Structure 1
Amino acid sequence: MDWKTFQALLSGVNKYSTAFGRVWLSVVFVFRVMVYVVAAERVWGDEQKDFDCNTKQPGCANVCYDHFFPISHIRLWALQLIFVTCPSFMVVMHVAYRDDRERKYKAKHGDEKKLYNNTGKKHGGLWWTYLISLFVKTGIEVSFLYILHHVYDSFYLPRLVKCEVSPCPNQVDCYIGHPTEKKVFTYFMVGASALCIVLNICEIIYLISKRFVRCANKLKRRNRNMGRHHDKYNDDDHFNNCSVAVTKPEPEPEPRELKEQPPSFRSALKPSFGPSGLKLEEKIRASAPNLSTS
């Protein structure tokens, strides 16, 4: 397996990951891939050759080895590393899909217009893709730990195993090569896998909590803007009412007695003592000398 090509492909995920994702990627490369390539492959180089049984019965050693080691640790860890890193390529593929859409959009509408502010920013569908990849990685890690524990009954490797599988003539004692060294590397790889599970869970909690905080801030900002708009509307309404009250004052009511009481005939015919009044009185006397105003 070409681990350098695998590392080059997976390193593109680093720029789209969060802080927890970068730590997870470092743990995978340093504590799992490097340990696997440098040390673990040599320890499990030819474990079947080092598996000795105290019998010369043909086929007994092969059958006993297959019974106790249905799948080698080193090959199981290789499958685990491949499967656990594959979900990260979902993020890279989604970003590549966004880049292609952005390129087509700019070719159609011009370079000044953009479909995405940042194609690698975890919003919308990319956020869901990243979150699903974390759940898939966590499920794969847990599944391989369960398989390793179920196949070997535990993470502990004994020095001596007793085999009674045919064609062995009776109960045969078989000895595992380098049991202590293999046990140390097994615990180390299991611990690194458990650490990756914890990092994935922390990253899931971080993404969900950050999304909730962003939604809460957006809701608060919307309520604040609505409150300001409502206050502005109330102030404008109050100003209009005040302007109407100032520009259109109500007329003062006339006294009811003066308004309802009609003028008397005597006051209407009462002569005035001015010059105009004397002329009017002389005209009345000239026209009707027998009438008197008194």
Structure 2
Amino acid sequence: MDWKTFQALLSGVNKYSTAFGRVWLSVVFVFRVMVYVVAAERVWGDEQKDFDCNTKQPGCSNVCYDHFFPISHIRLWALQLIFVTCPSFMVVMHVAYREDRERKYRAKFGEDRKLYNNTGKKHGGLWWTYLISLFVKTGIEISFLYILHRVYDSFYLPRLVKCTVSPCPNIVDCYIGHPTEKKVFTYFMVGASALCIVLNICEIIYLIAKRFVRCANKVKRHNRNMAVQSNDFEDPFNNCNHAGLQELKEKPPAFRPCKSPHRSCALRLEEKIRASAPNLSVS
């Protein structure tokens, strides 16, 4: 495996990660990849050669080794590192897709036009891609821990195993080479994997909580803007009505005598009668 190329690919993921994602990447490189390359490969390099059985029966040692070690720890961890880091490339590919769309959009509408404010910002589809990659990484880590525990019955590595597989003539005692050293590295790699699971869960919670806070703030701003707009719309009418009511309360209307049209007609008729016959009087 070309670890330099592997590191170069993962370095691109670091630009689009959160703080938890950067810590996760550091743990993967320092506590898993470096330990794997520097020490773990050497410890498990001669495991089959140092697997000794107290019999000279041809094929018995090979069969017993295959029975107790169906897959090598070192190869299982290499496969785990490859599968765990693959979901991170989903984010890089999504950002590359955004950058390609941005380039085509600017070529069509001009360099001053923008389709995305920031192609690497986790909004919209990129946020979902990043969140799905975290769930996939967590699932892969848990799956490989379960496989390791299932295949070897536990994470504990014994010094002596008893084999009864054919063509062994009877119960054969087989001894594992460097059992304590292998057990220490097994626990270390399992602990690093568990730490990566915890970091992934923390990052998932952080992303979802941040999204909820952003949505809540957006709803509050929307409600505030709606309230301001409704107040601005009702003020001209409400102010007029309130001013009129207040003026009526402070200055009650003056009561004037009601002028009936019949009363005015009777007065004019009486004046005409007096003018034509001053001696007559209307009773």
Is TM-score (shorter-chain normalized) higher than 0.5? yes
Tell me the percent identity. 80
Give the AA of the match of 1:138: T
> What residue is the counterpart of 1:263 in the other structure?
267
> What residue is the counterpart of 1:75 in the other structure?
75
The answer to whether residue 217 in structure 2 is matched with residue 214 in structure 1 is: no
Write the distance in 2 (CA, Å) between the matches of 1:266 and 1:260: 13
Shift of residue 231, structure 1, vs aligned partner: 1.4
Which residues of structure 2 form unaligned runs of 5+? Answer: 246-252
Write the distance in 1 (CA, Å) between the matches of 2:164 and 2:133: 44
> What residue is the counterpart of 1:176 in the other structure?
176
> What residue is the counterpart of 2:99 in the other structure?
99
Give the AA of the match of 1:38: V
Secondary structure at 2:173 match in 1: strand
> What residue is the counterpart of 1:121 in the other structure?
121
Matches within 5 A, 1:48-59: 48-59=48-59
- Residues 267 and 21 of structure 1: CA distance in aligned 2, closer, same or farther (over 3 Å): same
Shift of residue 267, structure 1, vs aligned partner: 2.2
- Residues 53 and 292 of structure 1: CA distance in aligned 2, closer, same or farther (over 3 Å): closer
Write the distance in 2 (CA, Å) between the matches of 1:160 and 1:192: 27
- Residues 153 and 292 of structure 1: CA distance in aligned 2, closer, same or farther (over 3 Å): closer
Write the distance in 1 (CA, Å) between the matches of 2:91 and 2:55: 54
Shift of residue 265, structure 1, vs aligned partner: 3.4
1:114-136 Cα shifts (integer Å, max 9, x gaps): 00000000000000000000000
> What residue is the counterpart of 1:236 in the other structure?
236
Shift of residue 255, structure 1, vs aligned partner: 2.8
Secondary structure at 1:27 match in 2: helix
The answer to whether residue 63 in structure 2 is matched with residue 63 in structure 1 is: yes
> What residue is the counterpart of 1:85 in the other structure?
85
- Residues 292 and 113 of structure 1: CA distance in aligned 2, closer, same or farther (over 3 Å): closer
Shift of residue 81, structure 1, vs aligned partner: 0.1
Write the distance in 2 (CA, Å) between the matches of 1:120 and 1:264: 96
- Residues 178 and 292 of structure 1: CA distance in aligned 2, closer, same or farther (over 3 Å): closer
Give the AA of the match of 1:154: S
Give the AA of the match of 1:48: Q
Write the distance in 2 (CA, Å) between the matches of 1:253 and 1:116: 72
Please give the TM-score of this superposition, normalised by the length of structure 2.
0.91
Shift of residue 46, structure 1, vs aligned partner: 1.6
Give the AA of the match of 1:225: N
The answer to whether residue 141 in structure 2 is matched with residue 141 in structure 1 is: yes
Write the distance in 2 (CA, Å) between the matches of 1:292 and 1:153: 140
- Tell me the matched-pair count: 271
Shift of residue 108, structure 1, vs aligned partner: 0.2
Please give the TM-score of this superposition, normalised by the length of structure 1.
0.87
Write the distance in 2 (CA, Å) between the matches of 1:267 and 1:195: 115
- Residues 143 and 77 of structure 1: CA distance in aligned 2, closer, same or farther (over 3 Å): same
Q: Which has the larger radius of gyration?
A: 1
User: Structure 1 residues 70-79 or 229-238, which shifts more?
Assistant: 229-238
Secondary structure at 1:16 match in 2: coil
- Residues 292 and 43 of structure 1: CA distance in aligned 2, closer, same or farther (over 3 Å): closer
Write the distance in 2 (CA, Å) between the matches of 1:164 and 1:192: 35
The answer to whether residue 21 in structure 2 is matched with residue 21 in structure 1 is: yes
Secondary structure at 2:174 match in 1: strand
Which residues of structure 1 form unaligned runs of 5+? Answer: 246-250, 272-290
Write the distance in 2 (CA, Å) between the matches of 1:135 and 1:242: 60
Secondary structure at 2:12 match in 1: helix
Give the AA of the match of 2:167: P
Secondary structure at 1:165 match in 2: coil
> What residue is the counterpart of 1:224 in the other structure?
224
